[in-house]
Structures are given as structure tokens and as C-alpha cells.
């Protein structure tokens, strides 16, 4: 299940060379469980065919000829009425102008006018056309009507020119579509902080101590919170994972940097999920210069790194907005006993405990098996799930503390 599962998405494709990328977008939406109905304008049909889209969505793709077919009277309003979201990608300057001014001269623009749901536009045109005052005025008109814009991006265009006007990549449009669908979610108006990945404690300018955390569970939690409509601050070390679209990312390396970022974000946040595997130890003295072999094997002396959840627990009295704090406990033995001790000492609302000695759960793999332990003594042993499903469950439980 994703936020796109079972949703009716209308994808309008207009006459730009970026139309070929719309097939990838249609495929990605379909893979995430959406029912995707595609409408091509006659311009789009010059670049791609209805068959291209039918092949990836498994559903009929509509063209202007359908407007004059036997079912036209149903089609011209029917498609828009069913849809949760209309995405126009790519959207040419011409179609942008038509929808800004309420023109309805083809199946796509009629549908846009007859539509009840939200509209997401991904412009694609030459930079000069996008910057033209007429287009800029049309963008402003649509933004005032709460139409969402995905891009355009800066970069090289098919004409050889460079500038603002490139269609955003399908993955980014997909992320924007998720945000559009999430806007009425239960966490709408709330800010949730998620920490992810491990931390890196420097030894010298080239070496550091870290751990095996991949960041996957934390990134899945950030996406789940976004899907529930929250504003998300993702505090993470550079993991190389794709950033969930819409999250405010704060990159940190050390436990101290993570502590500072978390405390600052806690001032305005409603919830904190500490999924990061924070270092417990750091170097007592970080060498300013690279340690050299010729100087012999270094003796490393460690000291305690800050306990972030412990510090948040102490500050909780002054963090008026912060209503819910969730921790993780990665244990290789005495799972329940250790998790309960952490739940209490860190004053958490609940903790997600997992056995890291299991092969199919924990670090680096895509699945996880966690038990949720609550401050009031309740326990909830979840079965083996994907990290995405674990994230959705944790976010749903967190939402209960904010209602």
C-alpha cells in the first residue's frame, strides 16, 4: 500500500518532446497502485501514441478523437469527476495559457475545467517562453487558484538553449503528486522530525567511526509522515538514498551536530522519531592532521557522545509543542528488557524494538520486524514487514498521540 494505491490519477500529456518521459511517469504511478487514465492532446500524439500509455497503465488512453465518439457526453466531464488528481506533464505554454483562462477546446482542457480534484502542472517549454511575461502571468493566475507546480527545472533543453523550462524528472513529479494527495492527511499542519542513518565521529581529517545503519528505515518514516500530510524535517548523515520529495533535509555528520539540529527543530515540531543509530562514543581528541603510519599504531581514547533522546527528555518541559517522541531500540539480546529500560529513561511515548541478530530484519535489508512498546505498558508485536509498512504503522500510531 502506498498513498497512490487505488487513487484515480488523470495524466494529461501535451505536445512537448518531454512527452516521452510522461510514459515513465505513467508507469511509476501505476507501479505504486494508482489507476492512471491518460489524455493526450493532438500535439502530444505527434511525439507519443496512446498505445505507449495503454501498454504501461493497462487502461485506455484517451485522445481528442474520443471527444467526438459515442460516449463523448460522459467522457467530457466523467474523467475529471472520478479523478483524485490531474497531473499535466509535460504542460506546454499553450495548455498552461488555456487552463489559466478557462479555455476548453480539447479533451484535456475540458477535463481540467470540469475537474473537482487538485491540479498539478509540470511545465515544459523553452526558457524564453517560460520567462515571457504572458506565461509568468498565467503561472501566477493558476498559483492563486491553488494549482500546484512541479518545476520547471533549470538545464539544457532540446533546442540547445539552457535555462528554466525543462520538465522535472518523473521521480520528482511523482513525489509532488504524493504531496498533493497528502494535503488532507491526518498530520496536515503538523511538523514531524525524523532522524535517519548513522553518525560519523571523526578520528582525523580522513577517518571516522560509524556503524552499519543504512538510513532506509528513517527515510521510509520521513516518506510515511509526508504521505500523512506532515511537514517533515529529516536530519540525516549523507546516506546516498533518494531524498523524500518535500522533506526539509538537514545534513549532519556527528552526534553533536545531530543533537544541535534536533534541538533546534524541536522548538517548532509536534513529534520526533529518532530512527538514527547515533554514536554512543566519540574520540576524546580528534587529530587535526592525518595520523601517519610512521608514527606507530595510534591509541584511540573514546569519550561519551551526547545522548540526543536523553537531552530532549530533559528539555521536554520547555518544548511546548512537542507532544510525541518515538525511539528505536536495536538489540542483539534481551530485547524487551532493554527496550523497556530505554523507553523509561528517555521518556518516550513509545519505542520500536528490533532484534538486529535476525537475518531478515534490521540493518541494510528492506524488511524489519519490530515490537512497539508503549509507556503505559501496552505491547504490539508487528509481523515481518517491509520498512515502508513498518514506517506507515509507526506514523499511524504517532498520529494517535496528536489527535
Site of interaction with ligand CTP (CB under 6 A): 255, 274, 276, 278, 280, 305, 307-309, 327-330, 342
Nearer to ligand CTP, 31 or 314 (CB): 314
Nearer residue to ligand CTP within complex by CB, 234 or 276? 276
211 is catalytic: yes
CB of 323 to ligand CTP, least distance (A): 17
Cell representation of residue 258: 545531530
CB of 361 to ligand CTP, least distance (A): 14
Q: How far apart are CA 262 and CA 257, in angstroms?
A: 9
CA–CA separation, 87 and 260 (whole Å): 39
Nearest residue to 25 via CA among 87, 79, 82? 87
The gap between the terminal CA atoms of the chain, to the nearest Å, is 23
Strands 370-374 vs 350-355: parallel, antiparallel or unpaired: antiparallel
Show Cβ contacts of residue 201 under 8 Å, excluding neighbours closer than 6 positions: 208, 209, 210, 254, 255, 279, 281, 282, 283, 305
Alpha-carbon distance of 292 to 297, in angstroms, equals 9
Closest to 167 in 3D by CA, of 362, 12, 41: 12
Q: How far is the CB of 36 from ligand CTP (least distance, A)?
A: 39
Q: Toward ligand CTP, which CB reaches closer, 7 or 342?
A: 342
Q: How far is the CB of 263 from ligand CTP (least distance, A)?
A: 11
Q: Contact at 8 Å (CB) between 374 and 350?
A: yes
Question: Of the two residues 47 and 328, which places its CB atom closer to ligand CTP in the complex?
Answer: 328
Query: CB of 197: closest distance to ligand CTP in angstroms?
Result: 10
User: How many Cα atoms occupy the beta-carbon half-sphere of 169 within 13 Å?
Assistant: 4
Taking the least distance from each CB to ligand CTP, the nearer of 10 and 329 is: 329
Q: Which is nearer to ligand CTP, 50 or 329 (CB)?
A: 329
Active-site residue (options: 94, 116, 188, 211): 211
CA distance 314 to 346: 9
Least distance CB 222 / ligand CTP (angstroms): 14
* Neighbouring C-beta atoms of residue 58, cutoff 10 Å: 10
Q: If residue 112 lies in a helix (H) or strand (E), which one and from where to where?
A: helix 107-114
- In the block, cell 505498558 appears at 377
Identify which of 288, 283, 324 has the alpha carbon closest to the alpha carbon of residue 199.
Answer: 283
- Residues recognised as catalytic: 211
Amino acid at each position: 500500500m502506498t498513498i497512490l494505491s487505488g487513487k484515480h490519477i488523470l495524466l494529461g500529456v501535451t505536445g512537448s518532446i518531454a512527452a516521452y518521459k510522461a510514459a515513465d511517469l505513467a508507469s511509476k504511478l501505476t507501479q505504486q497502485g494508482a489507476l492512471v487514465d491518460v489524455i493526450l492532446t493532438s500535439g502530444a500524439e505527434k511525439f507519443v501514441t496512446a498505445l505507449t500509455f495503454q501498454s504501461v497503465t493497462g487502461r485506455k488512453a484517451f485522445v481528442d478523437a474520443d471527444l467526438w465518439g459515442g460516449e463523448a457526453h460522459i467522457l467530457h466531464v466523467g474523467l475529471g469527476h472520478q479523478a483524485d488528481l490531474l497531473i499535466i506533464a509535460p504542460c506546454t505554454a499553450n495548455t498552461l495559457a488555456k487552463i489559466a483562462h478557462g479555455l476548453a477546446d480539447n479533451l484535456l482542457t475540458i477535463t481540467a475545467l470540469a475537474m473537482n480534484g487538485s491540479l498539478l502542472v509540470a511545465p515544459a517549454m523553452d526558457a524564453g517562453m517560460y520567462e515571457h511575461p504572458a506565461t509568468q502571468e498565467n503561472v501566477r493566475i493558476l498559483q492563486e487558484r491553488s494549482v500546484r507546480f512541479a518545476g520547471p527545472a533549470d538545464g539544457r533543453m532540446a533546442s540547445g538553449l539552457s535555462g528554466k523550462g525543462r520538465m522535472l524528472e518523473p521521480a520528482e513529479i511523482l513525489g509532488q503528486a504524493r504531496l498533493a494527495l497528502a494535503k488532507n492527511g491526518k498530520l496536515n499542519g503538523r511538523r514531524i522530525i525524523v532522524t535517519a542513518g548513522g553518525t560519523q565521529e571523526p578520528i582525523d581529517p580522513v577517518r571516522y567511526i560509524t556503524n552499519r545503519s543504512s538510513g532506509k528505515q528513517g527515510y521510509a518514516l520521513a516518506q510515511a509522515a509526508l504521505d500523512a500530510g506532515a511537514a517533515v524535517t529529516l536530519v540525516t548523515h549523507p546516506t546516498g538514498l533518494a531524498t523524500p520529495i518535500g522533506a526539509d533535509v538537514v545534513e549532519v555528520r556527528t552526534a553533536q551536530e545531530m543533537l544541535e539540529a534536533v534541538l533546534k527543530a524541536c522548538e517548532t515540531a509536534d513529534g520526533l522519531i529518532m530512527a538514527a543509530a547515533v554514536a554512543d562514543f566519540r574520540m576524546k581528541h580528534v587529530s587535526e592532521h592525518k595520523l601517519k603510519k610512521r608514527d606507530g599504531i595510534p591509541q584511540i581514547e573514546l569519550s561519551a557522545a551526547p545522548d540526543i533522546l536523553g537531552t530532549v527528555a530533559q528539555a521536554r518541559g520547555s518544548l511546548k509543542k512537542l507532544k510525541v517522541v518515538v525511539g528505536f531500540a536495536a538489540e542483539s539480546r534481551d530485547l524487551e528488557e532493554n527496550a523497556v529500560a530505554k523507553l523509561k529513561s528517555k521518556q518516550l511515548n513509545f519505542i520500536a524494538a528490533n532484534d538486529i541478530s535476525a537475518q531478515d530484519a534490521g540493518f541494510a535489508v528492506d524488511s524489519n520486524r519490530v515490537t512497539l512498546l508503549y509507556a503505559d505498558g501496552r505491547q504490539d508485536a508487528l509481523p515481518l514487514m517491509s520498512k515502508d509498512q513498518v514506517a506507515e504503522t509507526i506514523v499511524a500510531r504517532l498520529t494517535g498521540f496528536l489527535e
